[in-house]
Amino acid sequence: MSLFRRKPIVAAEAEVEGSEPHMRRALGTSDLLMLSIGAVIGAGIFSSLGTAAAGEILADGTVVRYGAGPALIVSFVLLAAVCGLAALCYAELASMIPQAGSAYAYSYATLGEIVAWIVGWALVLEYAIGNIAVAIAWGGYFDSLISGFGVDLPGWMTHGYWVVKASADPKVLALMDTAPRLFGIPVLVNIPAFAIVAAITWLLMLGVKESARANNIMVIVKLAVLTLFVVVGAMHINPANYHPFAPNGFRGIHQGAAIVFFAYIGFDAISTAAEETKDPQRTMPRGILGGLAVCTLIYVVVGFVATGLVPYEQLRASDPLARALEVAGLSTVSWIVSAGAVVSMAAVLLVFQYGQPRIFYAMARDGLLPPWAAKIHPKTQVPWVTTLITGVVVALGSLVANDAATYDLTNIGTLAAFAVVCVGVLALRIQEPNRPRPFRVPFVWAVTLGGAASCLFVMKGLPISAWIGFAVWMTLGLILYFTYGVRHSVLRRNADSRNTP
């Protein structure tokens, strides 16, 4: 069936090397490791870690999700196992198909066009929608940081409209009445979130090497801050805080893992750098697997210290690490960690904003999106049109959106993409068993099927609202595909021209 026509891998390789202008190969293994840490160590550890440990409870006492408690470290290990299976599959396909499209490009080569479109559309949830949540969280940390210097921005400039509307905090809800009005509508916008996205977009427009250099600096800062948290926090651990270890049993561990999964999606962003990586057949597997291993170790150590520092219920905050230090009476260190979170989450924004334009670029190059989305700047050699559009959309979204709703959407979209990549590796092993593979997944049947099944299992821990939102998003995507992509697909047009007498 033509909807499932696969894009030949030979064509993919020729496409990368033969296009002009093309992206510059400037990244090595160390750059990929730093990009991975930049993406993975961020909102998950500085923001959603608190929700994973303490759960989410509404003002009326309704439990939205159960927390893992000190067993949070088990949630991290569970996620590492799930992501490890997916990462092995990513490593095999990234070494064979060194393209910018990540899971989209892999699906196109293994499972066909319609599946590739679905995966590409799901990745928009991972990057563009997820980055709105990261930008809003960054704005919250920034506001807390500058307040330490006596600078207090008006509430209507730091809270988006939908954040206020969904809040259970009376002080936040009061902004509806006190904010200035335009045509009778309260002006509630998150200016810091908008500003950081604009700054990151400008940086990405300069070029990939410049962006990687800035990321490396931010990663060094965040590792220094986390080291400080671990060293100081470890000296104030109270062993009694580890009891009960798993207050909500495996249900809490499962649901905690589902929300913290947001933290682990960064290694997917590494695969979008394939066309800008030197010797990608060797470098990509090392970057993907090495980054996952390092980040898992960091998460387990930080989670262990955080839940030992204070009772896990007190981690229920938008800034759990800073809150834990503050409750423990370590206010100065708490302020330093907040400052580090501002830098850390800026790095996450940079890597995610880096990834999304390259997904759009790959889809446009295949004809599934308009050709202007595949334009490469002749001087900076970046996909400048999609970088700019992604920046504008994320910046405007962060002005008014509610970050809580976007985390679950990001997670479900990413998990769906991971599951498809796992299936794609097995499909390609069956379809083309003799094709050279610079990196091979060991125990391929167990890893691929286990990876896909474990992704679906983690998805089960997400609330029903995420599944409804995902269904709506996929419906919109399929409408776009059948009204535009099907008619403009380069692969389909080439096949039709060959079949025309």
What is the Cα–Cα distance from 358 to 347, expressed in whole angstroms?
Answer: 17
Task: For residue 501, tell me if it sits in a domain.
Answer: no
pLDDT reading at 54 higher than 80: yes
% helix, strand, coil for the chain, step of 5:
75, 5, 20
Name the token pair of 183. Answer: 């045509």
- Calculate the alpha carbon distances from 383 to 15, 62, 478 in Å: 15, 46, 25
Task: For residue 221, tell me if it sits in a domain.
Answer: yes
What is the Cα–Cα distance from 356 to 204, expressed in whole angstroms?
Answer: 12
Look at the chain and report how many structural domains it folds into: 1
What integer pLDDT is reported at residue 23 of this predicted model?
59
What is the Cα–Cα distance from 118 to 112, expressed in whole angstroms?
Answer: 10
State pLDDT tens for residues 255-307: 888 777 766 776 677 777 777 777 777 888 888 888 888 888 988 999 999 99
Task: For residue 500, tell me if it sits in a domain.
Answer: no
β partners of residue 186: 181
Measured in degrees and rounded to the nearest 5, phi and psi for residue 199 equal -65, -40
Task: For residue 307, tell me if it sits in a domain.
Answer: yes
pLDDT bin (cut points 50, 70, 90) of residue 97 is confident
Measured in degrees and rounded to the nearest 5, phi and psi for residue 158 equal -125, 0
Residue matched to tokens 């910018």: 100
Query: Among 95, 179, 47, 70, which residue's Cα sits nearest to residue 436?
Result: 95
CATH number of the domain to which 134 belongs: 1.20.1740.10
State pLDDT tens for residues 418-441: 899 899 999 999 988 888 888 899
State pLDDT tens for residues 147-169: 778 888 898 898 888 888 877 67
pLDDT bin (cut points 50, 70, 90) of residue 15 is low
Task: For residue 498, tell me if it sits in a domain.
Answer: no
Contact 104, 119 (CB under 8 A): yes
Contact 145, 336 (CB under 8 A): no
Q: What is the DSSP string of 58-75?
A: -TTS-EEE---GGGHHHH
Start-to-end CA distance of the chain, whole Å, equals: 20
Residue 475's CB is within 10 A of a number of other CB atoms, namely 10
Give CA angle at 22 (19, 24), nearest 5°: 145
Query: Range with the lowest mean pLDDT among 3-12, 380-389, 416-425?
Result: 3-12
Give the domain extent around 261. Answer: 2-490
β partners of residue 57: 63
Which amino acid makes up residue 438? P
Which amino acid makes up residue 120? G
Contact 380, 207 (CB under 8 A): yes
Which amino acid makes up residue 111? L
Higher pLDDT, 231 or 492: 231
Task: For residue 496, tell me if it sits in a domain.
Answer: no
pLDDT bin (cut points 50, 70, 90) of residue 497 is low
pLDDT reading at 479 higher than 90: yes
What is the Cα–Cα distance from 277 to 89, expressed in whole angstroms?
Answer: 19
Contact 107, 421 (CB under 8 A): yes
Residue 58's CB is within 10 A of a number of other CB atoms, namely 9
What is the Cα–Cα distance from 402 to 395, expressed in whole angstroms?
Answer: 13
Segments of 330-454 assigned E as strands: none
Residue 49's CB is within 10 A of a number of other CB atoms, namely 29
pLDDT bin (cut points 50, 70, 90) of residue 93 is confident
Listed in sequence order, the residues at least 6 apart from 309 whose beta carbon sits closer than 8 Å to its beta carbon are 233, 236, 237, 238, 241, 324, 325, 327, 328
Helix (H, G, I), strand (E, B), or coil: what is residue 317?
Answer: coil
Name the token pair of 21. Answer: 């202008």
